[in-house]
């Protein structure tokens, strides 16, 4: 007897209900994509560990939840509003043309309303369940990213990401103030670490996509300078970043674990930065320079550095 069943290659019949569900899923995915979840993950990774460090142990669970929710909504709001303003160049760049607005999955007006609602909601969440200082810092970071970086700096200066990157430094301050209710030198040092980390991280990515930026007239450093100069600048910022990370030891009177981790991670990152600079001095070919190696290394460096910030009080108290 021969079994006759549905063929693997035969199209499945879908009723109106399944088609509608698929559309809803697509729309939800489009809105979530506008918030740039991967960027949010990195921002939260510089928020939560600082809360552990500020508490010198484990912070209250619901305080962490409220801070994470408020921070996620704030970062998502900034990303959505960035997508709305940059939709013209996003449509032309290979790296961004699959976003919801270039694909017309979400209208600019709907995205604008969505971004503003997220911003207002984040401010309310942080103000009510965390504190007003953390809420104000998150709102300031959001406004700086959208109004200063996106609308003023990004398309006008090669220093766009240097100063525009300030917005991404605020999570360290927000995590600290969520626990203590006040600012101190320790979170300022971590703020500075992220500030000096941002150019090497972003320029490595921009070097990989420099033709995209050139086509849309965004003057990222890799567009206007040879790869060797980009590599040199990356090395300079990397040295300052590592030196700044070690300042946390005397400033915050950490235990032995953090400085040991910071020195090890910094040394590894500096080796990778120097290697990329060496490759860039010999060629302009991206495949030979391999800038994405440094980009991925920078993500790992920052993640592990802030994990060590959280672990230090747990291991050495």
pLDDT score, position 42: 84
pLDDT in tens, 211-257: 999 999 999 999 999 999 999 999 999 999 999 999 999 999 999 99
pLDDT score, position 27: 84
* pLDDT, averaged across the chain: 91
Confidence of residue 98 (pLDDT cuts 50, 70, 90): confident
13, part of any domain: no
Query: Domain total for the chain?
Result: 2
Same domain flag for 191 and 118: no
Task: Using only the alpha carbons of the chain, give its radius of gyration.
Answer: 22
pLDDT in tens, 125-156: 999 999 999 999 999 999 999 999 999 999 99
Same domain flag for 194 and 118: no
Confidence of residue 11 (pLDDT cuts 50, 70, 90): very low
Give me the CATH number covering residue 142.
Answer: 1.10.357
Same domain flag for 202 and 316: yes
Same domain flag for 303 and 224: yes
Does the reported pTM lie above 0.85? yes
245, part of any domain: yes
Domain hosting 134: range is: 25-158
Q: Residue 68 contacts by C-beta under 8 Å, 6 or more apart in sequence? A: 44, 47, 48
Task: Please choose, from the candidates 222, 263, 227, the residue with its C-alpha nearest in 3D space to the C-alpha of residue 242.
Answer: 263
Calculate the CA dihedral of residues 152, 39, 64, 179 and round it to 10 degrees. Answer: -40
20, part of any domain: no
Mean pLDDT of 166-182: 96
Phi, then psi, of 218 in degrees rounded to 5 = -95, 115
300, part of any domain: yes
Q: Lowest mean pLDDT: which of 86-95, 251-260, 288-297? A: 86-95
């Amino acid at each position: 007897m021969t079994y006759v069943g549905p063929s693997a290659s035969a199209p499945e019949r879908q009723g109106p209900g399944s088609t509608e569900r698929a559309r809803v899923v697509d729309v939800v995915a489009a809105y979530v994509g506008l918030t740039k979840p991967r960027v949010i993950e990195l921002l939260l990774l510089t928020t939560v560990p600082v809360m552990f460090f500020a508490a010198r142990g484990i912070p209250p669970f619901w305080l962490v939840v409220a801070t994470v929710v408020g921070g996620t909504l704030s970062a998502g709001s900034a990303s959505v509003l960035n997508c709305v303003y940059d939709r013209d160049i996003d449509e032309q760049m290979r790296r961004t043309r699959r976003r919801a607005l270039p694909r017309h999955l979400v209208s600019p007006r709907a995205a604008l309303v969505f971004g503003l609602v997220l911003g207002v909601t984040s401010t309310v969440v942080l103000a009510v369940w965390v504190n007003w200082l953390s809420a104000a810092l998150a709102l300031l970071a959001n406004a700086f990213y959208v109004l200063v970086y996106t609308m003023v700096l990004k398309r006008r200066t090669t220093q766009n990401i240097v100063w525009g990157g300030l917005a991404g430094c605020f999570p360290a301050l927000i995590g600290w103030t969520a626990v203590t209710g006040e600012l101190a030198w320790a979170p300022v040092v971590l703020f500075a670490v992220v500030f000096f980390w941002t150019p090497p991280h972003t320029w490595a990515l921009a070097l990989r996509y420099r033709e995209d930026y050139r086509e849309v007239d965004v003057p990222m450093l890799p567009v206007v300078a040879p790869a060797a100069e980009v590599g040199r600048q990356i090395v300079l910022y990397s040295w300052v970043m590592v030196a700044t990370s070690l300042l946390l030891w005397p400033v915050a009177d950490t235990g032995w674990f953090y400085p040991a981790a910071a020195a090890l991670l910094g040394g590894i990152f500096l080796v990778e930065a120097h290697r990329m600079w060496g490759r860039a001095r010999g060629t302009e070919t991206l495949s030979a320079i391999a800038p994405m190696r440094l980009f991925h290394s920078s993500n790992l460096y920052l993640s592990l550095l802030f994990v060590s910030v959280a672990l230090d009080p747990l291991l050495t108290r």
